[in-house]
Each structure stands twice: as structure tokens, then as C-alpha cells.
Amino acid sequence: MKTWRSALGTVLTAVLCAAVLTGCGLFGDDNVASEKPPQITVGANGKVENSIRSVTSEQGGYRITVDVIELKRYDKVLRLVFAVTPQSKGSTDPLASDFLSVDALGDDVAGVYLIDSANLRMYPVLKTNGGGCVCSDGVSDFTLDQPTALFADYPLPPESVESMTVVLSDLGPLPGVKVSS
């Protein structure tokens, strides 16, 4: 004799199997950030094209430019795509990969965070269940005079948020970055 629990289990199993077999997303639509690496376009002058905001700062033996390509809403995340271009100001070594990390010897960009100043809220980079960042990870040292495309995903802010401040660890804040849909 079947109990209501076994009948419920059978129904749930059938629904899940049907969803998987039809390719249906169980947790929202398919408008999610893709897993492919971010793409940037570099002009003939060696500069990143289609940048919506940028900041340049001198740090140690480098002149570092960060170009924001997009800050875009997806189904459940906000994705920042940006490029880092270090130039030599005396140093011949590449810029260390921990430049934008929260860890001293990190190889990610988890140190880049967002601020919603209208709602007084800070958004750190999303973390995986294992504690890693949902961002460019395994970053090698930044080659001089060559832009490197990077990304970081954040919790989705309210729909009313139209722009945010991008905070880059040693370079400081970059206010007024427009959020696109």
C-alpha cells in the first residue's frame, strides 16, 4: 500500500525528470551570465574600445588603467566586465596577479566591489559553495601594455538602481557606472 509520502515522491520525481528532459530551467529563465570569458576590443592605438568608464592611477612602478566595459543585469546576478592595462613607469616586471584580490597572494579579482550609494549598500563579489569567487580566477600576472579582460558577478541590486560605484582596491572608487539590462 502506497502512502501519501511515496506518492508525493513519485510526482516530484516525474516533474523533475520532465523538467530536465525538456531543458526547462527550474530556477528562472535562461537569461544568465555565460561562462565564456569576457571579450574586449582593442583599437589600433592599443587602447580598449567601448569603455563606459575608466580610471588611471600610478602605483609603484606602474601606470594602471582600468576600463569598465559593462555592468549588466542578468536573471539573478549583476556582472561587471572590465579590462586592466598596466604600463611601465620604471618597472620591467608584469603587474602582480594579486593586484585586485582580497588575498595577499591571490590570483582573482575578488577585491573589486560595488557600492549603491543611494541605498547605502555594499556588494561584494559572489562566492561559490566552496568559498571561491564568482569572478576571474587563476589570473596570471598582468602583461605590460596589454589589456586583460576580467569579470566579477555580484548580487542583483533592486531594479531602481541605475548606477553604482565600482571600487578597485588600490585605485579607489569609480562612481557613476551605469547599470544596463
3-state secondary structure of 124: coil
Statement: the pTM of the whole predicted model exceeds 0.85: no
3-state secondary structure of 95: strand
Question: Which pLDDT value is given to residue 35?
Answer: 54
pLDDT tens for 163-179 read 999 999 878 899 999 99
pLDDT tens for 16-64 read 444 434 343 333 344 445 555 567 777 777 678 889 999 999 988 899 9
Cα dist. 128→3, 20, 77, 134, 178 in Å? Answer: 38, 23, 13, 6, 26
Q: Give the contacts of 96 (CB within 8 A, at least 6 positions apart).
A: 141, 142
Cα dist. 11→28, 79, 93, 171 in Å? Answer: 21, 37, 61, 55
CB 154 within 8 A of CB 77: yes
